[in-house]
Structure 1
Amino acid sequence: MKRPIRFFSYFICVTLIASMFSFAPGVFAAEKDAAKESAASDRETVSQPADLQETKEMPGLQKAAPLSEPADPTNPTIPTDPTDPTDPTEPPAKKYCKITVSQTSGGIVTVDQTSVEQGAATTIHITVTPNKGYGVASLTVDGQQVGATYSYDYTFTPTKDEIKISASFRRSSSYVFIMLDAGHYGKVNRSPVYKSYYESLMTWPLHLYLKQELEQYSNVVVSTTRSSQSRDLGVYERGTASAGYDLFLSLHSNAAGSRAADYPLVITQKGNTTDPLAISLGQTIESVMGTKDGYRIWQKLNKDKKTEYYGVLRGSKAVGTKGMIVEHSFHTNLAAAKWLSSDANLRRMAEAEAADIAAYYGLTKSGADVITPSKSSLSIANTNYNTLTVKWKKSIGATGYVLYRATSKKGSYKKVKTITRGATLSYKNKKLKTGKTYYYKVRPFRKTASGTRYGSYSSIKSAKVKPNTPSVSSKAGKRKITVKWKKVSGASRYVVYRATKKKGKYKKVATLKSNRRSYTNKNLKKKKRYYYKVRVYKTVKGKKIYSNYSGYTTKKAK
């Protein structure tokens, strides 16, 4: 059975092969005829590209793919992706690199190009411009520091989509940075005694005038906490706005229940009540306004006794800036409110305060320092049997004073002391001769980088050296009164005087040795009032040099 089956299979194979060879001549003949027709057509017309030629279909065969034109070895081409719609004859699209500049505080960075073509060598010019009071710390291009330069040409061949450029800035140590705060905004704190006055309408122009005056000096940067008066800012935020600054000043006028209060008040941060600038500003406001009660430096803390009560001072301290609140007397005082309502007065105040700040920080005006310290005035007090205390009014713009002394008004004046702090307004002249009269004058000066400029001499004042005036008290007893006093240095004797009226004639009742500190006046009339004064004297070469009389003390005998 196997042999017949195998024979049958051979038969089928032979039959199939024979049928294939019988079909092939027709195919070959058709192809030969088509070639002849194509050659004839070439002689009559221009031939079409191979990929556009039409091919006849043969019965029983699938349509053949068109034959491609032979490659030209002198003009190579890139194989075409049939799914890519791009025309292979078009040049590839250009790619670009973006130049990104990151800006930081302290200055700006600019470039002359913001986009460059990738793959092509190019140069971009970088300019670094610091703000006033700043310098360049470093310039970084594409992650690499290229130095602390103000101008840089960067040549490179871009290979990526973006490069970044940035700079960091540093504060110049030769500049002073000052932040001014106008205090309240809007229309706030009306004077109860001068209805047209509002604190906020005074402090706004004052802080702008102060800014203008300060900016006349070299090496100073002055900013304000607000750009307009209508804009509000929290008190703490006003203080923290001074971050990176040397000084924060918040300008105000004060208010009190008493309409008589009339003095400038400078409120400092904790522990700064002896700050020379605070003292100088207090003295200046007193001098310019002519206030009646001197000036005061003060601080106010929270219940923890550690933090400042006022938000602006807490804020400025939190960012490491020296801060002060400057109260320009009281708008509850009629004279002060009227004075502060004058625009001309505010300009005078701004000029004087700017001079104080400039003197404190050693600032000078552009070109030459044109400030000449104003003339001062003197007063002299007897401090001890061999000491006189000389005091003078603050000179606007002064960084120091020179004190001169003579033994006669028209005599030769010699320099006694050079005071190198503008806020120091007194000097104790010791080791003087008891009973001798001395004459003094003072001259302010302003020291700058370009030299020293002197103001005018003050008027001459004199005083006699004598023992200090004693301080007395009294105590009543039965038909007696005991008068007590404190020791007076250098006293040879204490002399006690008595009267029966405050302004009556005082008669001497006792002369006591220098070691005595009290005297009991006995046998007095019961329930009668008596008045006592004491003075001392020092004997110099047989001559008694008396002190001034003490103030009176009074009691009724029991």
Structure 2
Amino acid sequence: MDTVNIKKYFYQILSIFAALLLSFSIAQIPVQAAAKPGTVKLSSIKATDYNKINIKWKKVFGATNYIVYYKEAGSKKWIKIKTLDNTKSSYTHTSSKKYPIDTGYKYTYTVKAYNKNTKKSGAYNKKGLTTNTVPQTVKLNEAKLNSNGSVTISWFKAGGADQYEVYVRNKDNTKWLSLDTVSGLSCTDKYPFEGQDNIYTVKAYAKSGKTGKYDANGVKVYVPSGDDDDKPDITPAPTFTEEQFAAEIFRLTNVERAKHG
């Protein structure tokens, strides 16, 4: 076989192989396009604030979008709250009128992968991940110095709180010191730091063990020490001689007589 025929035969074989390869690839396109995205694997869930819950997941092949669902723990119906593009693997749900998060309740979340080209959804974790909400950040009212030298701290009710832990610090303590744990909305510090500012803050606790955020600035009140230098100056009462005292009585008597004619 001469060189020309060999080349001709080689190109014929090559073209047949290319045609077969192309037809095989084309045949596979509908199969791949019709495939569903994978099942989303949930990673973690955390209540980051009294009105915010964060859910994280692993990305899956074939997803153009991720759809986030939630429900109150124990409920059967999932509620669709957000559709994200496939670059996302985390979402923080902030409470709204349409999709509320109420303090004191548990919520369950799940995520489903979706392909907008094939209009197909992948399977999803039906159990989902569940978390307790955290209590609301405590809003402080005041720190008041009492006549006996103690200090009473008061605050407003925080949603989802079952107890409140009270903390104190002063100029020598950069870290908060735990003072007491109470169920009411006030607490008295019987032995505050004397001769300096006392700074107080309060953190809310739930039965679930979750804690809310706290006011890092706190409320401040100055507590004087028992030293005379810290006591306010008091002007002494005037003193009189017997003659001056008698004259003053006579003067005041005449004033009263004049009032009554």
TM class by shorter chain equals: 0.3 to 0.5
TM-score, scaled relative to structure 2:
0.43
> Comparing both chains, which one has the higher relative contact order based on Cα–Cα distances under 8 Å and sequence gaps of 6 or more?
2
> What TM-score do you get using the length of structure 1 for normalisation?
0.24
